[in-house]
Amino acid sequence: MNMIEQLLAFFLIKKKTITTSILYEMKGHNSITFAGFKFPLTKMQASPRHGESVTCSGPHHDRAKEAEEFHETKAGVKGLVDSGLAKVPRLFIHPPKNLRDLSSGTDRAATGLEVPIINMMGCRDSRRRDVVDELRRASETWGFFQIVNHGVPAAVMDGMLEAVTQFHEQPEGVKREWYSRDDAKKFRYYSNGDLFWSQAAAWRDTLLFDFSCGVPDPEEVPLLCREPVFAYEEHIEKLKRSLSELLSDALGLTSGYLGEIECMESKRIVGHYYP
């Protein structure tokens, strides 16, 4: 198995409290990587579908029923907050053993670690070789990285973040018509993609814009988000091409190789909101 079969590009641009990400999936390969992280090409276990069996925790706790009831509200976590709830629903609480395991694992893993930061300034001329070397090291040792001086204007990022926030803070009735778990839809508003099989739901709601088959029909995207997301995607597409070339160089290939094999064509923009 060569490095091309293992490598797939994924990168994040993080700002303020919302994370927007671009996910690229290599066609024809059972591999998903985060910014060049190499996972083995092993058979992946399918996640249960909506309505299938889920893990229940504790006596008298029908997690499947609670998950279905939460899903049917189509109001997400923001709806729970707006309802004035007095305590966090059990659906969102991890079993005590899981919390202990998570805590101990985090303590061990976080000691002295710093996420690699890649400065993209000059990546097309004077610093290209340095940037390629930094990307290679980050992909080999960490599997993900943060990029700075990437060329996406601050105004465009601010506009995208503001659109995500404004959508989530609309009245429930306005948002509800967009609520969906249908993978065929180019825009989806939902809460917890793994709601029906995770051990505990996450305290967040999500917007997903799917550009996998090109730019979607504007009518498939809420008016509030159209201009910001299309402007953001245009700049991210340019950044994607630059990263594709740099990662090809890092693998010792021609600069256009990953682009030619459509390594980074499947693209989704995800905006999380934490009420």
Domains of the chain from N-terminus onward? 3-43+62-96+114-273 (2.60.120.330)
Burial class (CB in 10 A: 0-12, 13-18, 19+), 140: middle
pLDDT given for residue 36 in this prediction: 37
Q: What is the pLDDT of residue 4?
A: 34
The pLDDT of residue 224 is: 96
Per-residue confidence (pLDDT) for residue 96, from 0 to 100: 84
Ranges of the chain whose pLDDT falls below 70: 1-61, 102-112
Contact criterion met (CB below 8 Å) for 268 and 240: no
Q: Are 221 and 209 in contact (CB under 8 A)?
A: yes
Count CB-CB contacts under 10 A for residue 268. Answer: 16
Residue with tokens 């299309």: 230
Question: What's the pLDDT at 60?
Answer: 55
What would the pLDDT profile of 166-193 be if each residue is shown by its tens digit? Answer: 999 999 999 999 999 999 999 999 999 9
pLDDT of residue 257: 94
Rounded to two decimals, what is the model's pTM?
0.74
pLDDT at 15: 34
What pLDDT was estimated at residue 146?
93
- In the chain, alpha helices (H): 3-6, 63-73, 76-82, 96-109, 128-141, 154-168, 172-176, 223-250, 257-260
